[in-house]
A = this chain, B = another copy of it.
Amino acid sequence: MQTIPFLRKTGEAPFTDRGIKKAGQLLKPWTGEGVKGVAITGAPLSKTSISHSGAFMAPQTIRQMMHSFSTYSIEQETDMWDGVITDFGDIEMHVTDLIQSQNRIYSALKEIQSQHNGALIITLGGDHSVSAGAIKAFQETRGRVGIIQFDAHFDLRNTEDGGPSNGTPFRQLIENGVISGDQLVQLGIRDFSNGKLYHDYAKDNGVTVYTMGDIKREGLLTLLKKSVEQLKQTTDNIYISLDMDVLDQAFAPGCPAIGPGGLDSDSLIEGIQWLGENPSVKGMDIVEIDPTLDFRNMTSRLAAYIIMQFSLFYSKREGGK
């Protein structure tokens, strides 16, 4: 075999520094073996959004943004250099049959979670509709789920006006009997971003709702501790559903439904770190980033940073899981 000086394969990094490993390099394509630790799976579905959304591009953009970060946490003085974040790739979506796309998300994630019991899967949306299938698959393989939902919106809309969309995932889960309302805690719900009918629905079904006002008064960490404590009493595992629009528009300019009055990114990061270390947390999704609307991929950068912080604190769990 011949060699050519200075040649790098298409796609390889144009410059490497011996002292720095990119967080993106921790991503290893799954090759059929059993997986442990944090892993990601793309669910590139956003045709299910009520408004036009390019959120299907987020999995790929978040992966790219992981190349903007290194593996070393100076705050923890911990290097994830030798770590691995398994990348299961993306679930293939159907061009025109959106229900089939949703079913594929459920089926693929169920199979993944079932095969890889020791793995913590982070599902990358896509829009929030992907959480319905993701959570159903999670519960069927990991036991009764308690959900921590970061969101400006209930996502409890009726499914009759438009089918199972990015406004309905938690309604679907409750209506289909997958979960009951007491398995769900919603944090960051915001003024003028929801309908009273759906607040009533949340109340009627025993969903715990913390508004942005609650967070500003009590602090996110306090509410998270309270929420996890409460959920642990009736569920087996905690699943985080992170809709990035829980953040204020100044910190997440790339969410389809941006607005003022939301969370700042530092608070969210602190919350994610705490959840990352908490051994009850066994699943996660990150949704509602539309790279076509973002500024300099700021929102995907934040998502990549959150994956890294979560993974870092996950690695601090006792027994490593």
Q: Which residues of A pack against B, CB within 8 Å?
A: 1-10, 12, 14-21, 23, 27, 29, 31-34, 41-42, 44, 47-48, 50, 52, 54, 56-57, 60, 63, 68-77, 79, 81, 87-99, 104, 107-108, 111-112, 115, 157-158, 161-165, 167, 189-199, 209, 211-213, 216, 248-251, 253, 257-261, 265-266, 269, 292-293, 295-296, 298, 301-302, 305, 308-309, 312
Contacts and interface: CB of A to CB of B under 8 A. Distances in A.
Contact of A6 (B50, B56, B91): B91
Q: Determine chain A's interface SS by DSSP, over half rule.
A: loop
B21 A9 contact: no
Nearest to A251: B250
A253 B161 CA distance: 35
Nearest to A27: B10
Which 5 A-B residue pairs are closest in the complex by CB-CB distance? A95-B162, A1-B32, A96-B163, A19-B197, A69-B192
Given A20-B194, A74-B211, A305-B261, A7 B50 contact: no
Contact of A199 (B50, B57, B77): B77
B21 A195 contact: yes
Given A14-B93, A296-B293, A52 B54 contact: yes
A94 B162 contact: yes
Contacts of A309: 191-192
Contacts of A253: 295-296, 298
A12 B2 CA distance: 28
A259 B189 contact: no
